[in-house]
Structure 1
């Protein structure tokens, strides 16, 4: 039986182990229950270079045909600035700051991501990025 090597801490910054946090979302066994949980799982997927999960969690109306993750980018930290859930419970936003290094140089990206729920599943729809 194959064993998985789990990071000791989940890259999403929850303080939980990867196995007890984003792993089940990445394996597509369960769906993230909130926009924030989905955003955290997507950040962890960027850290771990899980392009398939990023596409899986992206809304079909805005999803690119493919995703090429830049191997030069090293994601190093995530801060959630705020979250908001629409009154109907079918849309939400998450504002965050993601820190990264590219070519050894530190940088950060701020995004307000938009999420939509269809049935029991949240999807990333789009976002406003400020770098």
Structure 2
């Protein structure tokens, strides 16, 4: 069975791209990489990964995945900080989805911080 392209938008196969983060074989090195891997987790419905990469002070009990929504494409619009030498960063993105077959999009400016040495999602700005 051929590998499928990663939902995060990078030109790589899912198992070698965000799949390795979802399986726990690697950790995101930058805030943008974490954001992309979280988008991919929405795409493959990996609620466990979403919750593990959410800061404990803002993490909900459930990620709220909607079976009627299919996440189809991601555009990273801007990022600040969030590199391997930073402890905070932001990523502004546009996520495209299908809701019961109807196209839609949402835009968010997200804040990420390092927690216990790893990047985590803190919340929207």
User: Would you say same fold, with TM above 0.5?
Assistant: yes
Q: Kindly tell me the number of residue pairs found equivalent between the two proteins.
A: 124
The structure number with the bigger radius of gyration is 1
- Structure 2's unaligned 5+ residue stretches are none
Which residue of the partner structure matches residue 39 of structure 2?
A: 43
Match for 2:13 among 17, 21, 46? 17
For residues 49 and 6 of structure 1, the distance between their equivalents in structure 2, rounded to whole angstroms, comes to: 20
Measured after TM superposition, the shift of residue 86 of structure 1 is 6.4
1:99 maps to 2:96:
yes
Match for 2:23 among 19, 27, 30? 27
How high is the TM-score relative to the length of structure 1?
0.88
Contact 1:6 1:18 in 2 (8 A): no
Larger RCO (CA under 8 A, 6+ residues apart):
2
Contact 2:31 2:82 in 1 (8 A): no
- Structure 1's unaligned 5+ residue stretches are none
How high is the TM-score relative to the length of structure 2?
0.91
For residues 56 and 114 of structure 2, the distance between their equivalents in structure 1, rounded to whole angstroms, comes to: 12
Which residue of the partner structure matches residue 71 of structure 1?
A: 67
Q: Which contiguous aligned blocks of 4+ residues in structure 1 show a shift greater than 4 angstroms?
A: none
Measured after TM superposition, the shift of residue 105 of structure 1 is 1.4
1:111 maps to 2:112:
no
